[in-house]
Amino acid sequence: MSESSMTRPPTAAAHHTSLGVDNRKLGVWTFIGSETMFFATLITTYFVFAPVNRARPDFQDPRKFLDIELTTVLASILLASSLTMVLALSASRRGDRRSFTTWLLATVGLGLAFIGGQVYEFNHLYHEGLTLSSSLFGTTFFVLTGFHGAHVAVGVIWLLSVFFKVRAYPDSPENAMDVEIAGLYWHFVDLVWVAIFVLVYLI
């Protein structure tokens, strides 16, 4: 999704806009606002059902199923990917093609590692008897973390397409903006994971 302010004349650094913010950046911020409500609703649902789950005969205890060590590793992977994303953006602005390539592909790699870890976790839980239909915990847990995983996957595809589009001239204003807004989304997805990790896994 790469749009630009076509109706304005090209100016040196940024397009002229009323707020002085790039259109696409403002758009992604708005989108993130909407996504915040999406995840807030899913997390709320999880918490509405947590006590109901506990009181039921088919109660499945999150503490027994969730592997804190594995997910701590996953959380660190995602946090590290935010760092590499920042480095990739700054490299693209500097026009440093080599380190841009390194850091952006590192971000993609860490994202893929996270998805791999989640697939492993889901598979493991499934064999332990936790499924969408096994309990309220299964229902709420898989839908929440599954939708987050899908967002990470979309982020990986987004980052890759940005990489192939901008790798020749990562420092043109248009391309640097492509990297920046993909990064915004990536940081948001990371932040959602932090929330899920703290609220679902730690508490």
Partner 1 sequence: MAIAERTAGTVSIPVVNVRPGWAGWLSTTDHKRIGIMYLVSAFVFFLIGGIEALLMRIQLGVPDNTFLTPDVYNQLFTMHGTTMIFLGLMPLNVGLGNYLVPLMIGARDMAFPRLNALSIWLFIFGGLMLYVSFFVGGAPNVGWFAYAPLTQKQYSPTAGVDYWIIGIGLTGVASIAGALNFIVTILNMRAPGMTLNRMPLFVWMQLVVAFILIFAFPVLTVATIQLLFDRHFGTRFFLPNLGGDVVLWQHLFWFFGHPEVYILILPTMGIISEVLPTFSRKPIFGYAFVAYSGVAIGFLGFLVWAHHMFAVGLGPLANAFFGAASFLVAVPTGVKIFNWLATMWQGSLNLTTAMHYAIGFISMFIIGGISGVTLASPPINVQQTDSYYVVAHMHYVLFGGAIQGIFAGIFYWFPKMTGRMLDERLGKWQFWLMLISFNLTFFPMHLSGNAGMPRRIYTYEADMGWNLWNLISTTGSLLLAVAFLLFLWNVVTSIRRGPIAPADPWDGATLEWAVSSPPPVYNFAVTPRVRSRRPLWDQKYPHLREINSGHGMSGAHNESEKRDGFEHETSPAMEPIHLPSPTYAPLIVSVGIMILGFGIIYLSDFGLIAASAMIVGLLIMAFGILSWVRISHVDSPHHAH
Name, in order, each residue with C-beta under 8 angstroms of 165's C-beta and a sequence gap of 6 or more: 2, 175, 178
CB-nearer residue toward partner 1: 40 or 68: 40
> 61, 76, 172, 198: which one contacts partner 1 (CB under 8 A)?
172
Tell me the C-alpha distance between 167 and 10, whole Å: 21
Task: Give yes or no for residue 18 binding partner 1 (CB under 8 A).
Answer: yes
Dist. CA 89–CA 175, nearest whole Å = 10
Please report how close the Cβ of residue 53 comes to partner 1 at its closest, in angstroms.
Answer: 7
Give the C-alpha distances (Å, rounded to integers) separating 94 from 10, 54, 172: 21, 54, 10
Tell me the DSSP string of 62-82.
Answer: HHHH--HHHHHHHHHHHHHHH
Query: How many of the other CB atoms lie within 10 Å of CB of 165?
Result: 15
Q: Is 9 an interacting residue with respect to partner 1 (CB under 8 A)?
A: yes
Q: How far is the CB of 115 from partner 1 (least distance, A)?
A: 17
Any contact of residue 17 with partner 1 (CB under 8 A)? yes
Is 56 a binding residue for partner 1 by CB under 8 A? The answer is: yes
Site for partner 1 in 136-155 (CB under 8 A): 136, 139-140, 143, 147
Task: With contacts defined by CB under 8 A, name the span among 81-89, 108-116, 128-136, 181-189 that binds partner 1.
Answer: 128-136
| Contact string 30-49 vs partner 1 (x = CB under 8 A) | xx-xxx-xx--xx--x--xx
